[in-house]
Structure formats: structure tokens, C-alpha cells
Amino acid sequence: MHNFITEFKAFAIKGNVVDLATAVVIGTAFGTIVSSLVANIITPMIGILMGGVDFTGLKFSLGNSDVTYGVFIQSVVNFIVISLVVFLAIKLLARLKKNEVQKLAVPKEPSDEVKLLTEIRDSLRR
């Protein structure tokens, strides 16, 4: 039993497990934000543009059962909207990251003192 606990502790504190757990927590929080954005902002706007179309009520009866194909259609629409929002968010984050990297990569203009010292050094080399 002691060997099992030792192995589990070694496994649990590896960087990959901690990184994965962190990604799951952040992903869950991000998923909640995206779901709220889609449900509370984007979907109502799409509903207004489409004249308030809601597919969830579409169904047909087959024997004693109702086939609620509208729920499936609405789920597909929600998936497409959520995918689009996530895609746009990732593109925005990538653009912000690229801009930050470019800002860091731009060489700074040397100060007047450095310019003067460079001129003096170059003069002494001649």
C-alpha cells in the first residue's frame, strides 16, 4: 500500500497533471463565459434577425412517441454559434499575443549617451 501511495503522489505532482488540471478549470470557466455569451447575447440577437425563430418546438409524432427534431436542430445551431465565438476569441487572443511579441521584438532607439559613445569609439578606431 505504501508503494501505491508513493507512486500516486509522484504521478499527482508531475507538471503535466497540474497543467492538465489547470487547463480543465480554466476551460470550464471559459466554457461558462462562452455559454453565457451565446445564450444571453448572441442567440437573442440572431433570434431578432431571424424573426424570433426557435427550433425547439419542432416535432412530429411517430406512434406514441414524439420525435423532437427541433431540439436537435437548435443544438446544431448552438454548436455552430459557440464554435464561431470560440474561434473568434482564439483569433483575438492570438492577435493580441502577436502584437505583444512584436512590441517586445522592436529594438529601442539608443540613448543620446550611447550614440555619443559609439561615435567616440568609431573615431578612436580610425
Range of the domain at 68: 54-126
Taking the whole predicted model, whether its pTM rises above 0.85 is answered as no
Question: In this structure, are 39 and 64 located in the same domain?
Answer: no
Question: In this structure, are 59 and 118 located in the same domain?
Answer: yes
Question: In this structure, are 46 and 60 located in the same domain?
Answer: no
SS percent in the chain: helix, strand, coil, step 5 = 80, 5, 15
**Contact call for residues 52 and 44 (beta carbons, < 8 A):** no
Q: How many CA atoms lie within 13 A of 58 on its CB side?
A: 10
In whole angstroms, what is the distance from residue 76 CA to residue 82 CA? 10
**Contact call for residues 47 and 54 (beta carbons, < 8 A):** yes
pLDDT tens readout for residues 15-63:
677 778 888 898 898 888 888 887 888 878 877 877 777 778 889 999 9
Question: In this structure, are 39 and 25 located in the same domain?
Answer: yes
Q: What is the tally of structural domains in the chain?
A: 2
Q: Which residues pair with 67 in a beta bridge?
A: 60
